[in-house]
Each structure stands twice: as C-alpha cells, then as structure tokens.
Amino acid sequence: MCNLSKGIKDSGIAIGREEGQELEKKATARRLRKMGMPLELIAQSVERGEETVRKRLSEEETTG
C-alpha cells in the first residue's frame, strides 16, 4: 500500500474511533440520567462540560 493510501486509511480509522467514542459518551450520559445521577456527576463521568451535557440531553428529550 502506498503512503498516501495508508495515510488516508489511518485518518479514516481515527475519525471512526473518535465518532464511536463520542456516541458511547452520549449513550452513557443518557443511561446515567435515567438512573437519576446529577448533571454534575454525569458531566464528570463523560468528560464533558455541564452545559454541553445539559444541551445534548435536552435536545434528545425533544427529538426522541
């Protein structure tokens, strides 16, 4: 495989991993919220700011 192809492949893999990790953090935040965990602890658990977590959870409640 040439260097360009390998670089593109590696970049795609890295992007996919990042997206997967972000989806898992969102799912974890939803589960913790359903369990009644306070927003502050959810934010710490998923390594995001409280405002970011609050916004994502409220968006999900209104859309789905």
More confident residue, 40 or 4: 40
What is the number of structural domains in the chain?
A: 1
DSSP string for 2-56:
-HHHHHHHHHHHHHHHHHHHHHHHHHHHHHHHHTT--HHHHHHHTTS-HHHHHHH
Q: What confidence tens digit (pLDDT) does each residue in 5-62 have?
A: 888 999 999 999 999 999 999 999 999 999 999 999 999 999 999 999 999 999 887 8
User: Is pTM, for the whole model, over 0.75?
Assistant: yes
Asked whether the beta carbons of 39 and 54 are under 8 A apart, the reply is: yes
Residues of the domain holding 44: 3-63
Both tokens of 55, joined, read 């916004």
What pLDDT does 64 receive?
A: 63
What pLDDT does 25 receive?
A: 95
First to last CA, the chain: 43
User: Is the model's pLDDT at 1 over the cut of 70?
Assistant: no
